[in-house]
Amino acid sequence: MRKLLLLKGGVPLVLTLYCLLCSGCSVIRDKPAKEDLSLALAGMAGSDEVVFEGANMLKRGGTTVPESLLFYGGTVEDHKKVKLYTLLPDKSMTQKTAAYGVKDLKNSAYALKPYYSQLEKKEGRWELQPTENSSEEGNPLPALNPLKQLEELESMEKSVTEEAGAGRGTSVLRIELTPSEARKQLSAELEKEMQILRPKVPESAENSAEADQAVTKALEKLWQKKNNELQQKLKQANVETVYHLTVDKKHNLPKRLTLNRKVSYSGEMMNKSENETYVSKVDFTGYR
């Protein structure tokens, strides 16, 4: 009888252990992927200093756009200050880039043009700080602030899953934006770029010469036309945006963030030569 009772009492225990072992990935060790993402973002925000390096490019119709190549580095300090600067590509990266269709990287003036930016978070917003040596006109660096990218990821509509085959001590989170969120993100970025390109009306427009006024009106008309064309194009665009975040599981800190955005067009604008793929990568190389 005692043996029978022990057996009966042992069955729930065995079943419990079996269930725990079978679902070990989600119950014993790992957390839901979204929770892993939140912990990684919190770990980044809690670091006093972070060093990073990144690169990005745009491919249109399967061919790399040389002017889009950009190599950069920077630091995050005191949780709210970010410095970014352009870097010359190293030899290994140049070879990889050439494999994507860029025969002579030196011909890309945009990729080698020096830029510098400093941003600071004030009242929840990232603001560009004026600096003596910064050249902000046409500067792409502010949009590449990795801390801002990670912060925005947390609030976006998305699905988060953990991918298999990650390196030892790391996990790789696949973060795919919903189609509406991907379109919203792209639209916001393009709108910001268009506003930068919008012709500036002189402060003393009333007193300016008629010829100058005519030029200003012509430029504004052209800008309006191009902006309308862009909006129409966006309506027919299919946007797929996927991030991959590699996380140091021991310290819950991001190690690498990659972005792959594919834009294709349907209907009358369906043309493979118009399809675009934007790729970016940033490695977090040091924490303090």
User: Is residue 132 domain-resident?
Assistant: yes
**Structural domain total, the chain:** 1
Report the candidate in 48, 67, 68 with the shortest Cα–Cα distance to residue 58: 68
Q: Specify which residues 258 forms β-bridges with.
A: 244, 281
Cross-strand partners of 159: 176
pLDDT tens-place string over residues 38-51: 888 888 878 889 99
Does residue 233 belong to any structural domain of this protein? yes
Look at residue 8 and tell me if it is in a domain: no
CATH number at residue 95: 2.50.20
pLDDT (tens digit, 9 = 90+) per residue, 163-195?
Answer: 988 889 999 999 999 999 999 999 999 998 888
pLDDT for residue 100: 42
| Cα 176 from Cα 46, distance rounded (Å) | 25
Is 4 domain-assigned?
no
Residue 153 structure tokens = 């990821």
24 occurs within a structural domain:
no
Question: 112: phi > 0 → left, psi -120 to 50 → alpha, else beta; which?
Answer: alpha
Whether residue 12 lies inside any domain: the answer is: no
- The pTM (predicted TM-score) of the whole model is 0.78
Residue-level pLDDT at 174: 96
Reply yes or no on whether the pLDDT at 23 is more than 60.
Answer: no
Per-residue pLDDT tens for 209-221? 777 778 888 999 9
Mean of the per-residue pLDDT values for the chain? Answer: 79
DSSP letter, residue 130: P
Number of CB atoms found within 10 A of residue 46's CB: 11
Rounded Cα gap, residues 190 and 228, in angstroms: 12
Tell me, what DSSP letter sits at residue 200?
P
Q: Whole-angstrom Cα distance, residue 208 to residue 167?
A: 64
- 15, part of any domain: no
Q: Are the C-beta atoms of 243 and 281 separated by less than 8 Å?
A: no
- Domain containing 250 equals 31-287
Does residue 22 form part of some domain? Answer: no
